[in-house]
Amino acid sequence: MRAVFIDAKDRIAVRETAMPVPGDDEVRIRVTHVGICGSDLHYFFDGANGEHAVREPLIPGHELAAVVDADPSGRLEPGTPVTVHPARFGSVTPEIAQEPHLRPGGSYLGSAATWPHTQGAMAEFLVVESRMIRVLPDGLPLARAVLAEPLAVALHAVSRSDGVEGRRVLVSGAGPIGLLAIVAARAEGAAHITVSDVLAEPLERARALGADAVLRVGVDDVPAEAFDVVFECSGAAVAISTATTAARRRGVIVQVGMVPNEARAIGLAPLISKEVDLRGAFRFRDEIDRAIEVLAAGEEIAGVVTHVIDVAEVSSAFDLARDGARSGKVVVSLTDQKGTG
């Protein structure tokens, strides 16, 4: 079977590799689409994602849609459309027993955080545990279902805010996760959503997804104390500082965008004087099930996917995915099915 391998910084190739064989309580799936995530971009362009360097050839990808190829248990018929919860959770820790995504250990598809690396989904076939499978509803196109994992990340961020129903929301950064934060906030009842970004093109995508207002950073002022909840999706230090000003007194900032593992200057004075809560959001718990519901209900969400590119052109797909002026979510197709659905 074909698979994509990141061998080191700026080195990516499609190669043949062995077909995986499912064991007990495992399912083999035929992958049709894989979204390119920010962590995948870091592995390719930097050779590492944060502190986790590529030390052996890594198959990237954890945002996927697929169909069942073989289920030894007989529970799932071949051809059943599915997506996958990409986490294998670590050992239980009493303090976070109800937060399995935060447990130490465990693994995540397409990650160099483990040794050996946890190989990902950008391959024609993938074997996962049965509990990781999520069957897709009828009528949900596979190229839209690929958004289930990143939308789950956005929905988890909403849960970390204690909810957005009836609240004024700012989404900082209109990249793929920022766009899906719009979708998540709207689905969970936000009253008004403003989106900020330095580029005009992502803001146009935000408008198309139903943002109530957009702000061009460097052109428009972000109003002070105007938002109940801020979802900071860019990871830029200056944007985090702006979020502390934009949040109202006793407001909430959820840091969704990953930041480098190093010290950065951030203005915290407004956070203190207004008693603003700054909260982290890491991956997700079980929000992928809600994400599938939201994806099935809204065709306009398909607009988050701007490009579907054949796996043979994977290097070009990665180049495109890091250019926010040209692309939103870039998806790699491992079949002849190219529609964005």
Nearest to 284 by CA among 36, 89, 115, 51: 89
Q: Which CATH class is domain 154-280?
A: alpha beta
Judge contact between 231 and 157, C-beta under 8 A: yes
CATH 3.40.50.720 segments of the chain: 154-280
Collapsing DSSP states into helix, strand and coil, what is residue 182? helix
Q: pLDDT digit of tens for each residue in the chain (341 aa)?
A: 999 999 999 999 999 999 999 999 999 999 999 999 999 999 999 999 878 899 999 999 999 999 999 999 999 999 999 999 999 877 777 777 677 777 678 899 999 999 999 999 999 999 999 999 999 999 999 999 999 999 999 999 999 999 999 999 999 999 999 999 999 999 999 999 999 999 999 999 999 999 999 999 999 999 999 999 999 999 889 999 999 999 999 999 999 988 777 788 888 999 999 999 999 998 888 999 999 999 999 778 888 999 999 999 999 999 999 999 999 999 999 986 443 33
Looking at the whole model, is its pTM more than 0.85?
yes
The 10s digit of each residue's pLDDT in 23-72 is 999 999 999 999 999 999 999 999 998 788 999 999 999 999 999 999 99
Question: What pLDDT score was predicted for residue 97?
Answer: 66
Question: What pLDDT score was predicted for residue 341?
Answer: 37
Please list, residue by residue across 281-311, b when 16 or more beta carbons sit within 10 angstroms of its beta carbon and e when fewer do: beebbebbebbbebbbebeebbbbbbbbbeb
Q: Which CATH architecture is the domain 2-150+284-333 placed in?
A: Alpha-Beta Complex (3.90)
Cα-based distances in Å from 101 to 29, 106, 140: 23, 9, 27
